[in-house]
Chain A
């Protein structure tokens, strides 16, 4: 018999629910990634998977191994923290790159950056500040 039979029922139900919530949200996020029509809409879709999609599955895994081994198993928590901190960084960088590319091509979807008034700064604000 698999070790799954050793998990008592009161723990199995919340673990299963967390698994389904996490996987469901990740699935919906990917549906959005596939179906939404513009890049700036699509950039919102993976955040579903990276916020509560990851949290649900990580919490399910933590609960399962904690119950199975009879002591708190917390290392999956690090995975959740890591994903929560890194995904916004990558998405922000990607958004910046996309805005920059669209602006240099003069794409009308993105608000163009009008030059600064002369009082605030001498140089026209057409370049990307590095």
Chain B
């Protein structure tokens, strides 16, 4: 019983997260401006991280936690660098 509930909720949640990632990709491709694309990339990173956490629940392995932590950190650094680039035209001054 509880396995059915959990498996169904997981399937719905993962489907929602994959669709959320797809919509972020649509926004990234559509733009129209550079800041829209960076914002969409940030959302894509976040959704991907959440999808990895749900994958960890599905497989019952703690391994996915480390992967999602690294994705969260990479996403943060990447977005900060891109925002700085939008403002100054260069990352390292």
Task: Please list the residues of chain A having a beta carbon within 8 angstroms of any beta carbon in chain B.
Answer: 1-5, 7-9, 11-13, 15-17, 19-20, 22-24, 26-27, 29-31, 33-34, 39, 42-43, 45-46, 49-50, 53-54, 57-58, 60-61, 64-65, 68, 73, 75-76, 78-79, 82-83, 86-87, 89-91, 93-94, 96-98, 100-101, 128
Give the number of chain B interface residues (Cβ < 8 Å). Answer: 51
Give me 18 other A-B pairs in contact (C-beta within 8 A), A9-B1, A57-B13 excluded. Answer: A5-B2, A8-B2, A19-B13, A22-B50, A23-B50, A23-B54, A24-B16, A26-B17, A27-B19, A33-B24, A46-B43, A58-B53, A64-B57, A79-B49, A90-B76, A96-B87, A97-B84, A97-B86
12 residue pairs from A and B, CB less than 8 Å apart: A4-B2, A9-B5, A19-B13, A26-B16, A29-B43, A33-B40, A61-B56, A61-B57, A76-B53, A79-B65, A86-B72, A91-B39
Q: Is the CB of B79 within 8 A of A90?
A: yes
Q: Is the CB of B6 within 8 A of A4?
A: yes
Interface string of B1-33 (1 = CB under 8 A from A): 111011111101110110111011011000001
Residue of A nearest to B28 (CB): A33
What distance in Å separates the Cβ of A41 from its nearest Cβ neighbour in chain B? 11
